[in-house]
Structures are given as structure tokens and as C-alpha cells.
């Protein structure tokens, strides 16, 4: 049916470019259209059936590790926070995180002088030590003082990191994640290609071939025939252009593998 339709189109195209009606002596000679219509599609090469599995997604999983930026890193020990390849010590309570430093500001509070006598309420003359300060504060009599304190954080390295991976059940192809292809097919990007069967065992690009020679012949025809068609058209050899055009269509008019 396909070949008859293409033959009809070619016949009409021939009329448009004025191929000319054959004279009486030419009617007994098979034309290019007749040759194409009578030629069966090559049985030693076929197109592989395909299924589409959708656009890929960017890997985003870090199983058992910590995601930081676009990479995966081992988790930092307790008391440390990760930033890229470095684990930084966390600041103690009461300290402000200043990046690579932890800072505790100065603080002055009133002392507990409830035990001091009336004549020395701050405990700085006759009753020294009667005022009390919390742990970590210096006793200045009536006040307790804690000076500013700045400490550098300790660090640990955790490696250069590794790329993120695909979720379970997905597979990486050219840096993207795709669902698994059905059984009997293999994925290339968003397309699942059927495997070649035993009667057409040679993978031939988007098709399967009975032999390497058959694959080479089909590939050569699909590359050269369109070029030959253009050359004939440039030369204004319209009958030749039609003939080469039909040959080009025939080169691509392959059956689907498995008869599907």
C-alpha cells in the first residue's frame, strides 16, 4: 500500500515537472515508478520498534550521605556541621557563630551580696569575698564580669564529594535519570529501543540487519540516494530526479522488525 501511494505521488510529480509522456517505443520498458512499485521492501533490514520513556531528570539522591550543593558527602561527626568538603565544629551554647569563629560577648551583672555586712555591701574592704558570682564570672565586688571570648572552630575534612545519583528504580544515561526500559529493550536517552532478534541479529543504527553486509548496503543507500536526488534536480534532469527520489523512498521503506 505504501509503495503504491509513493508510486502515485511520483507519477504526479513527473507530470508537474514535465517528464513527458513515453512514446510508443518506451511503453514496453519498465519505468522507475514501475520498478519501485514492483520491488518489495528489503527483507534483510528492518526498523527497530521503540517506546518513549519521557524526559530525563537531574540526579538528586545521596543514599546514606549528606547532600551539600550539587554533591554528596559523608555525614559529619556529632557536634560538627558540613559545608562542602569540610566539617566545622558547632559553637557551644551562648556563643555566636561567626563563620570560622565562635564569639561570646562580654557581660556584666550584679553580684549576690546578700551575705555582705552593712558596712561593706560589695565585699571589697573589710568583708572581702562576701559577694558571690556565677561560675565563669570574675567577682568585681558589686558586679560580676565575664569578658569577651572568641575561639576558632576545629575542622575535619570529609573528601571531595561525589555526584548525586538517581532514585531507586531509575538509571543514569548521559547525566540524566530515566525509568527502566521494558524487558527486551535498551535505553538511549528518552527512547527504549527493541533488541535485535535472532533472524536479524546485527544492530544497524535504528534498525536490525540480517548481516553486516546488509547493514552496510542499507546505510549506504540511505546516505547516498538523497544526495543523488539533489544532484539530479540541480542538473534539471527531472526524470532522473524522480527516479532517484523513488530510490530514496525505497531505501527508507523498511518493514518494522517483528512485523509490528
Mean pLDDT computed over 72-80: 96
Q: State yes or no: pLDDT of 119 exceeds 70.
A: yes
3 pLDDT above the threshold of 60: no
How far is the C-alpha of 206 from the C-alpha of 200, rounded, in Å? 13
> Any idea which of 103-112, 131-140, 207-216, 243-252 has the lowest mean pLDDT?
243-252
Quick check: 24 pLDDT over 60? no
Mean pLDDT of 6-32: 39
pLDDT band at 258 (very low <50, low <70, confident <90, very high): confident
User: Which of 168, 202, 221 lies closest to 61 in space, CA to CA?
Assistant: 168
Percent with pLDDT over 90 in the chain: 47
Under 8 Å between Cβ of 33 and 7:
yes
Q: What is the pLDDT of residue 31?
A: 46
Residue 228 pLDDT:
74
Give me the phi and psi of 230, to 5 degrees please.
-65, -40
What pLDDT, on a 0 to 100 scale, did the predictor assign at position 250? Answer: 67
The model's confidence at residue 15, banded by pLDDT at 50, 70 and 90, is: very low
> Rounded to whole angstroms, how far apart are CA atoms 143 and 149?
19
Own/partner pairs for 93-97, CB < 8 Å, 24+ apart?
95/149, 95/151
Q: What is the pLDDT at residue 57? A: 93
pLDDT score of 66 more than 80:
yes
Say what the pLDDT of residue 236 is: 72
Predicted confidence (pLDDT) at residue 209 exceeds the cutoff of 80: yes
Please write the tens of the pLDDT for every residue from 81-108.
999 999 999 999 999 999 999 999 999 9
Residues in the chain: 260
What integer is the mean pLDDT of 53-57?
Answer: 91
pLDDT value, residue 11: 33
Interval 155-170 mean pLDDT:
93
- Tell me what pLDDT residue 27 has: 41
CB of 15 closer than 8 Å to CB of 227: no
Instruction: State the pLDDT at residue 146.
Output: 95
What pLDDT sits at residue 241?
66
pLDDT score recorded for residue 249: 66
pLDDT score recorded for residue 179: 92
Amino acid at each position: 500500500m505504501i509503495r503504491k501511494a509513493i508510486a502515485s505521488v511520483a507519477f504526479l510529480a513527473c507530470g508537474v515537472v514535465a517528464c513527458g509522456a513515453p512514446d510508443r517505443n518506451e511503453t514496453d520498458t519498465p519505468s522507475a515508478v514501475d520498478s519501485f512499485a514492483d520491488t518489495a521492501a528489503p527483507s534483510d533490514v528492518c526498523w527497530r520498534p521503540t517506546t518513549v520513556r519521557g524526559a530525563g531528570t537531574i540526579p538528586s539522591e545521596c543514599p546514606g550521605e549528606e547532600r551539600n550543593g550539587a554533591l554528596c558527602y559523608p555525614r559529619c561527626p556529632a557536634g560538627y556541621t558540613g559545608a562542602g568538603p569540610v566539617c566545622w565544629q558547632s559553637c557551644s551554647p551562648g556563643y555566636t557563630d561567626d563563620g570560622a569563629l565562635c564569639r561570646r560577648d562580654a557581660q556584666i551583672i550584679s553580684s549576690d551580696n546578700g551575705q555582705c555586712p552593712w558596712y561593706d555591701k560589695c565585699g571589697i574592704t573589710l568583708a572581702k569575698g562576701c559577694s558571690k558570682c556565677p561560675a565563669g564570672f570574675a567577682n568585681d565586688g558589686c558586679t560580676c564580669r565575664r569578658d569577651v571570648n572568641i575561639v576558632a572552630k576545629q575542622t575535619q575534612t570529609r573528601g571531595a564529594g561525589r555526584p548525586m545519583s538517581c532514585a531507586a528504580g531509575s538509571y543514569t544515561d548521559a547525566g540524566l535519570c530515566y525509568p527502566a526500559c521494558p524487558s527486551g529493550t535498551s535505553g538511549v536517552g528518552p527512547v527504549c529501543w527493541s533488541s535485535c532478534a535472532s533472524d536479524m541479529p546485527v544492530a544497524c543504527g535504528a534498525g536490525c540487519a540480517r548481516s553486516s553486509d546488509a547493514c552496510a548496503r542499507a546505510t549506504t543507500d540511505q546516505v547516498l540516494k538523497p544526495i543523488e536526488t539533489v544532484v539530479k534536480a540541480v542538473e534539471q534532469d527531472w526524470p532522473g530526479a524522480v527516479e532517484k527520489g523513488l530510490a530514496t523512498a525505497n531505501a527508507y521503506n523498511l518493514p518494522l522488525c517483528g512485523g509490528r
